[in-house]
Structure 1
Amino acid sequence: LLFGKNIASVVGELPLYTLAMVLFTVASGIVSYHQIRKEYIFPVVGFLLTIAQVTGLVLFHNSLSQVVVVMFGSALLQLIVMTLLHIFREQIRVLIVNTMDFLGLFSRITALPFAPQKLRILIFNWRDTNHVWGGGAEAYIHELAKQWIHMGHSVTLFCGNDGKTPRNQVVDGVRVIRRGGFYTVYVWAFLYYMVRFRGKYDVVVDSENGIPFFTPLYVKEPIFLLIHHVHQDVFRIHLTFPLRQIATFIESTLMPKAYRNNTVITVSESSKKEILRHNLAREEHIRVVTPGVNIELFEKREKTEYPSVLYLGRLKAYKNIDVAIRAFANVYRAYPDAKLVIAGEGEHMSELKKTAGALNLNGSVRFTGRVTEKEKLALLATSWVAVQPSSFEGWSLAVLEANACGTPVIASDVYGLRDSVVNNQTGLLVPPRNDHALAESMELLIANHALRKKFSVEAHEWSRSFSWEKSAQDFIEYITGILQQQKKPIVTQKDRLSLAEAKNI
């Protein structure tokens, strides 16, 4: 009586309609969850499915039963699609990114300005400084590239994309093209060179981060292989079968054969010795270009009132930050007001936090994550001492940057760090993975103000011996020397593409 005589037909459709509403609600919850996480493919697909639903209602609305069936069918379809998207979202993201990278082969890349009698430099590196896992190797490349831009050269950096940065970007005058991921960047480097870059550059810098880009197999321009440090021990300790064997074979056997006629650039005399020890290149082909430091950006500041120790860098297993935490636990017992700051990101963070928690150091060890340049400068300048307990380094930019702030460094006595830390002058070298020795050195510099002050003065003076301007100039001189030996002319303005022509690159 209350709803009229047609209510009987409506009541029969209520169970299916109610179920449809439940399915819609669950699907909408999945969409909202991912939209909050800025995964916008979910609302886009949801919008397309809504259009399909409206289309179904327009075509099938002759009866209430048809409407209910359309609503139920569209709700079920939306829930199934959203569930599949949720389960396979990473695979779908990779597919979309690779599709965009493929289409990018045929899109325009705007040319950068260049000067007459200057070089067009193409760099292949697996990451750049804006990558979520970017570190010292990426900073080295970027700082050199900035200096080359200031010298009038044009620089293009081709690297991997973490999915959080633009695919094409100009950073400090450097054109950055981001394609592919951890492994596929090597494939895209080959494809983009063959389709877009071939014949448009004077020199190629191939950055080896364990695995090089094997540019001698397809690049016709002069190639410079950049090796920060040898990775054989990293592979042996931190990779599992069969990746360990594959990576070791690539670096130790395939790479020397592929690059046997190319110049190798490395960052320290220690790295040069390691390259020779592993027979990765001939001595006459190796040149050393040390990192620099922008001394004008760093300054001495008042140190913290309490003993403060800083680790700045990537959080990777071979960096041995767990050793620094265990060493600090001993320091903390002698100096309860001491603090350890671990600044940086990396895949080892969760394990390091567990280590600190197990040692009851949660209140004294602070993990900052990735820091801004301003925050980094403040940490370096105000800390009493910095530590670099790594097992393998080519050099370590963080050492020079700490020194530029008058902060001494305690580091592992390993190749690379032996070059950047002058033992008993700018800091102390200790046996690698020896938390007892590291703790003793920390306590020595905390307790001995005069020694810490002496190291601070020496460290600051040592840092002034390095500059990115000099390093960039040294690198360019090696390049021009090879070009002259090979009688390769530096392309002049009239030989280059015009800006209009370059837009079709």
Structure 2
Amino acid sequence: MKIALISEHASPLAIAGGVDSGGQNIYVANVARQLVRIGHDVDVFTRCDRSLLPLISRFENIRVINVPAGPPVQLPKEQLLPHMDAFASFMIDFMQQEAHSYDIVHANFFMSGLVGLRIKDALGVPLVTTFHALGRVRRLHQGESDGFPDARFDIEDELVKRSDSVIAECPQDENDLLHLYDADPARIDLVPCGFDRAEFQPLDKRQARERLGWPQDRFIVLQLGRMVPRKGIDNVVRALGVCRAEHDESVELYVVGGNSDEANEIATPEIGRLRDTARECGVEAHVHFAGRHGRSDLKHFYNAADVFVTTPWYEPFGITPLEAMACGTPVIGADVGGIRYSVAHGETGLLVPPKHPAALAQAIVTLKRDAALARRMGEAGLARANAMFTWSSVAQALAQVYARVSGAESQDAARVAMGGGSR
């Protein structure tokens, strides 16, 4: 199949860890990579956000089309909706000029979905949509700090009704689609996120710490991801204070992420807020900001940590827990969304309520004081990640959805019935 992946604000070429660079960038890059590996032809369409970008970039036999839509500068994703008409017009023209037509459009996020609907109407190409986050769920948790317009809700409603398939990334995502968007269950396909075995695997902890310059004799908690309030990093900082004040346990926290390689407050204002929180809790000396790092470095961070912690207010899926599990590191996660699905409570890690530093502190202390339990959870997490959450299995599942909604599946069956074999 010839597949168009749309990801208007999250380029597969971007470095994850910034305000608008995270799980969706990783998802699109890995889905594209794995689809190509199993024989499909993939183009990724993303908004051109730098003036010197070429129209077409390439990585691993994948074309990335940097769509001219709005000014060629980085803009917050909350400001991109007015530029989607230009994005859609460009894509329709581009697709019409291609020698071979596209079999499927897979839109990522609601604005990409709006573009996908325009393409569906103009060219008749089937549309698959992955929301990555639902507007009504976001508004429920973020309230007035949600910068997206209310128009998002109507767009999402239309996408739920008109997409040939809506990809739910976890059971909670599916439940939200059914109850908040009145989705047709027959149009929902449950396909999780994943990790790449070649990218993440267990390494020697001592060597990983030596490489990073981390102390060998301290209990270390890792927090890794986008530096935005809803990720709940302040909750982890406050939990360190509780560990110290109520449990008499000293714990080190390393935070990886930000808008630059430097852990400075100018590039990443959230770091300033978190430093203030650490001072308030009396743990400033135990909270370390490592800045943003490339994908090739992350396995060393996961392996160097005693436990990986992620306690967002809400999380449509959450790829970082999978990456930690793939490295054999136990996970403490918020009992929300996709984390509730990927982390098996009491088996591969522990689930705690979001915004509850006392509960998180108790979970951290439990694993610090019981090294055997932490080791068993790390081993169980590794097994669960490999059995359920690899990008190769995600791509296979998506390819089956594409084949079904595009009619390729029935065409293959007809060829077999006529003695022609499958393509």
Of the three residues 256, 269, 288, the one matched with 2:171 is 269
Q: Does 1:402 align with 2:348?
A: no
Give 1:232's aligned residue.
136
Of the three residues 193, 196, 199, the one matched with 2:91 is 193
Shift of 1:294: 1.7
Give 1:213's aligned residue.
114
Instruction: Report if aligned partners of 1:202, 1:222 keep a CA contact under 8 Å in 2.
Output: yes
In structure 2, how many angstroms separate the alpha carbons of the residues matched to 1:467 and 1:165? 35
TM-score, with length taken from structure 1: 0.68
Instruction: Report if aligned partners of 1:234, 1:318 keep a CA contact under 8 Å in 2.
Output: no
Q: Does 1:169 align with 2:92?
A: no
Letter in 2 for 1:268: C
Give 1:178's aligned residue.
66
Shift of 1:449: 1.1
Shift of 1:427: 0.4
Of the three residues 222, 227, 238, the one matched with 2:126 is 222
Q: Does 1:473 align with 2:396?
A: yes
Instruction: Report if aligned partners of 1:214, 1:255 keep a CA contact under 8 Å in 2.
Output: no
In structure 1, how many angstroms separate the alpha carbons of the residues matched to 2:317 and 2:351? 14
Instruction: Report if aligned partners of 1:214, 1:258 keep a CA contact under 8 Å in 2.
Output: no
Which aligned pairs between 1:335-414 and structure 2 lie closer than 5 A?
Answer: 337-345=250-258, 348-414=270-336
Q: Does 1:299 align with 2:212?
A: no
In structure 2, how many angstroms separate the alpha carbons of the residues matched to 1:455 and 1:216? 44
Alpha-carbon distance change, 242 to 434 in structure 1, aligned in 2, over 3 angstroms: closer
Letter in 2 for 1:206: A
Shift of 1:486: 9.6
Instruction: Report if aligned partners of 1:268, 1:394 keep a CA contact under 8 Å in 2.
Output: yes
In structure 1, how many angstroms separate the alpha carbons of the residues matched to 2:290 and 2:22? 16
In structure 2, how many angstroms separate the alpha carbons of the residues matched to 1:341 and 1:473? 35
In structure 2, how many angstroms separate the alpha carbons of the residues matched to 1:175 and 1:400? 27
Q: Does 1:128 align with 2:33?
A: no
Identity among equivalent positions (%) equals: 22
Of the three residues 227, 240, 243, the one matched with 1:315 is 227
Instruction: Report if aligned partners of 1:207, 1:213 keep a CA contact under 8 Å in 2.
Output: no
Shift of 1:240: 3.3
Give 2:210's aligned residue.
none
Instruction: Report if aligned partners of 2:141, 2:313 keep a CA contact under 8 Å in 1.
Output: no
Give 1:440's aligned residue.
362
Instruction: Report if aligned partners of 2:33, 2:60 keep a CA contact under 8 Å in 1.
Output: yes
In structure 2, how many angstroms separate the alpha carbons of the residues matched to 1:224 and 1:469? 19
Moved over 6 A (4+): 485-490
Deviation per residue, 1:35-74 (Å, 9 max, x gap) = xxxxxxxxxxxxxxxxxxxxxxxxxxxxxxxxxxxxxxxx
Across the two proteins, how many residue pairs are aligned to each other?
Answer: 369
Shift of 1:339: 1.1
Shift of 1:146: 0.2
Higher relative contact order (CA 8 A, sep 6+): 2
Instruction: Report if aligned partners of 1:210, 1:230 keep a CA contact under 8 Å in 2.
Output: no
In structure 1, how many angstroms separate the alpha carbons of the residues matched to 2:84 and 2:2? 21
Shift of 1:214: 4.4
Q: What is the SS of the residue equivalent to 1:363?
A: helix
Deviation per residue, 1:58-100 (Å, 9 max, x gap) = xxxxxxxxxxxxxxxxxxxxxxxxxxxxxxxxxxxxxxxxxxx
Shift of 1:258: 4.3
In structure 2, how many angstroms separate the alpha carbons of the residues matched to 1:203 and 1:360? 54
Give 2:44's aligned residue.
157
Shift of 1:218: 3.7
In structure 1, how many angstroms separate the alpha carbons of the residues matched to 2:145 and 2:251? 41
Alpha-carbon distance change, 161 to 306 in structure 1, aligned in 2, over 3 angstroms: farther
Alpha-carbon distance change, 349 to 259 in structure 1, aligned in 2, over 3 angstroms: same
In structure 2, how many angstroms separate the alpha carbons of the residues matched to 1:140 and 1:242? 23
In structure 1, how many angstroms separate the alpha carbons of the residues matched to 2:224 and 2:146? 32
Instruction: Report if aligned partners of 2:6, 2:105 keep a CA contact under 8 Å in 1.
Output: yes
In structure 2, how many angstroms separate the alpha carbons of the residues matched to 1:188 and 1:260? 24
Letter in 1 for 2:204: R
Shift of 1:178: 2.4
Deviation per residue, 1:128-162 (Å, 9 max, x gap) = 24335321122111111001111222211111344
Letter in 2 for 1:139: I
- Any gaps of 5 or more consecutive residues in structure 1? 1-118, 491-505
In structure 1, how many angstroms separate the alpha carbons of the residues matched to 2:317 and 2:331? 13
Give 1:260's aligned residue.
161
Deviation per residue, 1:377-405 (Å, 9 max, x gap) = 11101100011101211221111110111
Shift of 1:337: 5.0
Question: Which segment drifts farther, 275-284 or 137-146?
Answer: 275-284
Alpha-carbon distance change, 238 to 156 in structure 1, aligned in 2, over 3 angstroms: same
In structure 1, how many angstroms separate the alpha carbons of the residues matched to 2:61 and 2:248? 47
Q: What is the SS of the residue equivalent to 1:464?
A: helix
Alpha-carbon distance change, 197 to 217 in structure 1, aligned in 2, over 3 angstroms: same
Give 1:18's aligned residue.
none
Letter in 2 for 1:275: L
Letter in 1 for 2:63: R
- Any gaps of 5 or more consecutive residues in structure 2? 70-74, 207-215, 260-267, 414-423
Instruction: Report if aligned partners of 1:255, 1:280 keep a CA contact under 8 Å in 2.
Output: no
In structure 1, how many angstroms separate the alpha carbons of the residues matched to 2:301 and 2:402? 37
Q: Does 1:142 align with 2:29?
A: yes
Instruction: Report if aligned partners of 1:211, 1:250 keep a CA contact under 8 Å in 2.
Output: no
Alpha-carbon distance change, 211 to 478 in structure 1, aligned in 2, over 3 angstroms: closer
